[in-house]
Amino acid sequence: MSTRELGGTWFVTREARAMAACWGMHLDFGPDVAGGAMFPLLEMFADMENGMSVVEGGAQRLPSALAAVLAEQGGEVRTGAEVDRVLCRAAGPSVCAAPAAAAR
């Protein structure tokens, strides 16, 4: 079943159909992808049962908090650097024109 079929079959209001469509698109499933309704069904039932977690203060707070934890452990978040390869076994990225950053 596609997300569009899920909305049209099981939901009456435009708002409920839109909610199902949003969860389907969350995994980059277009509205007519066969099997695309699986994630919206799972997500909506899990949200109804357990509540939905939302980051207080906005979504940017989550990566900021993760970067703070990394910094506390002596790590560094680098942005704007071109990565030419990723070394396996958690060795870290290889950044162009910069020494390799080793992961621990």
Q: Tell me: the pLDDT tens digits for 89-104?
A: 655 555 555 555 665 5
Q: Tell me: the pLDDT tens digits for 38-91?
A: 888 888 888 889 888 777 888 889 899 999 999 998 888 888 888 887 776 655
The residue to which tokens 């499933």 are assigned: 29
Amino acid identity for residue 20 in this structure: A
d(CA 77, CA 67): 7
In degrees, rounded to 5, the angle at the alpha carbon of residue 48 between the alpha carbons of residues 34 and 22 is: 40
Counting every residue written for the chain, the total comes to 104
Query: Model pTM?
Result: 0.48
